[in-house]
Structure 1
């Protein structure tokens, strides 16, 4: 562990100070300017455009799954100057399946625009020759849940290509200033991995077509007439943990979730109301050995570990999200004893150590890979955010321990804001390439941590 990251982590564990940078939300959105039209009017006042950001790919560079994506850590990539479009994301996925004899699967719930979510199962090297039903899958990696956070699916698929190529060639991987040996590649391959490369296909397709900085999905059920910005649900506020925030959270403790469709963090009509989140939950349910979950986001330069609703504690097991006795007390950071908001979410101490070590390893590796500052932090230290995906695998274990094992959940925030763009989530070509280098190192570290700490 690097000294700087260790000091940062220790400070966070002791003080739980909120960070100045917001994950997945711009500063304006965190000030309450959640309506996209308001955000865009403010940005246009500064004469910002999306010119100079990385363009979207045209056609299908992977030729219907017959051409393999090439990752930045293994070989000289053929094309990192455009972002994969939604057709290419599926085509790249199918090419990996074809080349490495992986299992391609489709999730059961169609999106509102009739798209099919898909994924791949990558058994650990020791069981790769066995039937998929006999393989143990302990890690779930996903990307593309927020439409505007460009590059996430590319980074995930290119890393998988890196990993499998390096395994097959008996070699290591290099991500900028970080080098992984062939032995470490084999260690990373000792865990079974499931990948969901595109959680929000409708939203991503719309954002690519419009350059509108679109975050949500495209569900029109709650939209108001003549208000196009009321379309959609924030999928990362639609998971069950503390979704009913007016009941579960202390009043006034979070602006990062809303029950108003016009807001950018609209939670939907019910937990798991959306086919996309139902598909993520369904995928988790197909993984009885799930122990590690990572949701890829941008652009705050952080590796976040749970919980995302309040500070953690490892002493009082009764103080947990499913205990209704604490409803209305969660989310005050720091605790407000005068108002009776004294609460800390229970986190098993052994799992907590594993999660913080893994998060710190990821942050260290990303810093070393690209030279940009990354740090590990508890999600709630940014802002309490009910309904998040990364809390769901832990929440399932609390809700039904007989059925679900505890799984540590993480949100990886790659990259930095593009301050010259109207939509700060759209990177330049150079940013995109640097992001891919850093996320490659991050994925390696999460797999190595899973192999060592599971």
Structure 2
């Protein structure tokens, strides 16, 4: 599955928008009208609470008989109930971010596994779900997987995700990494999208909203992190309009400043609080791809000084291929060992997702999908470059699924797609944890 540079561009050309709909590219018209040519909104959203107010723990497809139907998509209420059900059944530590959302929602999380007893010492792996509101199934994939992992550990069994099988030893090894997770990092946006079926991507902060324009509410949280956030100045002029947007009406509006939003500050708070974190996975839909750093430009391992911190290259980033005639030759530095470790983990994850149900996932560097600024995975990895006192965190993104083109919003999966996504992410998350365990959980800033 390893892709050459040329092959990467060719293979990923159809995925050029991934988390974005074609009409939402930052350089195109803003204030687009969502597709409403059909009443098809994909798999129904749960109306009751199948976890009985946090007294029942969820179990995914990895610990249940083949063909098990988990029913409807988890509502926002059920996501919280499922989380509390897991915490009650397995007695793991829970926490709440100190930052409330615009609509006063709490961003909650948990810590499971690991070998040490210290509150902030154990977790090495961080899973984040539902940063983009409309990417339905993100929270479900994570909670059902963790339910499987904890159930299999308690019952001394293994896991089966379609064509991928894991032993109880694998389960224990995966848990030994220590996992911290946020199952719902954009609660306001998800609640709005589920209530309105409007294919909503952003949060619901109206700080920059234009009167009379509903699309101008909210900030794209995955453009709000402090990594090359000031994209008009830092990226090449021909690339910058595609990287993010300064226009509140755009789907990729990056906010008034880096970390302007309580949701992104909450994710940073997790990284600051759990100081031994080393691996980060942000869960998105729907491009059928596993991504690793960097997302700003193509990687290089020879010129250490050519990096996102060096102002010499301001205005040159993101152009692929480069334009030597225009004096633009830039690639993002990554140590060769880091690069090898990232591709190894991502390849294992992609191969496992392929094997689960037979659909093919591409594996590539994030920039080959499209250059971005202010993304969570790049911020995670950039922290130790900007401040060597911080632990290195490898950043990854998985874009699960392949879209429901018959729905009013392609991010709303069919029941069959929802089922396939659960199997694929279950296998992929297992390989991610096993890779983290095998590659290393040490505290050193570099290998």
TM-score range, shorter chain: over 0.9
Deviation at residue 88 of structure 1 after TM alignment: 1.0
Distance 1:28 1:183 in 2: 47
**Where do residues 190-205 of structure 1 align in structure 2 (5 Å cutoff)?**
190-205=176-191
Mapped contact 2:61–2:161 kept (Cα < 8 A): yes
Kindly tell me: are residues 10 and 52 of structure 1, through their superposed partners in 2, closer, same or farther at Cα, counting changes over 3 Å? closer
Kindly tell me: are residues 434 and 115 of structure 1, through their superposed partners in 2, closer, same or farther at Cα, counting changes over 3 Å? same
**Are 1:137 and 2:128 counterparts?**
no
Distance 1:34 1:428 in 2: 29
Match of 1:319 in 2: 306
**Where do residues 261-340 of structure 1 align in structure 2 (5 Å cutoff)?**
261-340=248-327
**Are 1:237 and 2:223 counterparts?**
yes
Distance 1:104 1:399 in 2: 30
Deviation at residue 14 of structure 1 after TM alignment: 8.3
* Matched residue SS, 1:438: helix
Kindly tell me: are residues 34 and 448 of structure 1, through their superposed partners in 2, closer, same or farther at Cα, counting changes over 3 Å? farther
Mapped contact 1:141–1:195 kept (Cα < 8 A): yes
Match of 1:165 in 2: 151
Distance 2:149 2:30 in 1: 40
Deviation at residue 59 of structure 1 after TM alignment: 2.9
Distance 1:346 1:326 in 2: 12
**Are 1:105 and 2:95 counterparts?**
yes
Deviation at residue 187 of structure 1 after TM alignment: 1.3
Distance 2:88 2:336 in 1: 42
Post-superposition CA distance 1:372-428 (Å, at most 9, x none)? 1101011100111111011011111111112x1221100100000111112000001
Kindly tell me: are residues 185 and 287 of structure 1, through their superposed partners in 2, closer, same or farther at Cα, counting changes over 3 Å? same
Deviation at residue 80 of structure 1 after TM alignment: 2.1
Mapped contact 1:28–1:39 kept (Cα < 8 A): no
* Matched residue SS, 2:407: coil
Q: Which ranges of 4 or more aligned residues in structure 1 deviate by more than 4 Å?
A: 13-18, 31-34, 76-79
May I ask how many residue pairs the two structures share in their alignment?
Answer: 436
Match of 1:74 in 2: 63
Distance 2:61 2:28 in 1: 37
Match of 2:4 in 1: 11
Mapped contact 1:18–1:383 kept (Cα < 8 A): no
Match of 1:423 in 2: 409
Kindly tell me: are residues 120 and 202 of structure 1, through their superposed partners in 2, closer, same or farther at Cα, counting changes over 3 Å? same
Mapped contact 2:59–2:147 kept (Cα < 8 A): yes
Match of 1:219 in 2: 205
Deviation at residue 79 of structure 1 after TM alignment: 5.7
Mapped contact 1:16–1:311 kept (Cα < 8 A): no
Mapped contact 1:18–1:382 kept (Cα < 8 A): no
**Are 1:382 and 2:369 counterparts?**
yes
Match of 1:251 in 2: 237
Kindly tell me: are residues 50 and 300 of structure 1, through their superposed partners in 2, closer, same or farther at Cα, counting changes over 3 Å? farther
Post-superposition CA distance 1:230-281 (Å, at most 9, x none)? 0000000000111100111111114130000000100000000000000000
Could you list the runs of 5+ residues in structure 1 that have no partner in the other structure?
none
Distance 2:238 2:388 in 1: 31
Match of 1:24 in 2: 19
**Where do residues 174-193 of structure 1 align in structure 2 (5 Å cutoff)?**
174-193=160-179
Could you list the runs of 5+ residues in structure 2 that have no partner in the other structure?
441-447
Kindly tell me: are residues 15 and 164 of structure 1, through their superposed partners in 2, closer, same or farther at Cα, counting changes over 3 Å? closer
Task: Give the TM-score normalised by structure 2.
Answer: 0.94
**Are 1:432 and 2:418 counterparts?**
yes
Kindly tell me: are residues 34 and 430 of structure 1, through their superposed partners in 2, closer, same or farther at Cα, counting changes over 3 Å? farther
* Matched residue SS, 2:247: coil
Distance 2:179 2:354 in 1: 24
Match of 1:401 in 2: 388
**Are 1:83 and 2:73 counterparts?**
yes
Match of 1:444 in 2: 430
Mapped contact 1:103–1:120 kept (Cα < 8 A): yes
Mapped contact 1:237–1:267 kept (Cα < 8 A): yes
Distance 1:419 1:178 in 2: 28
Match of 1:209 in 2: 195
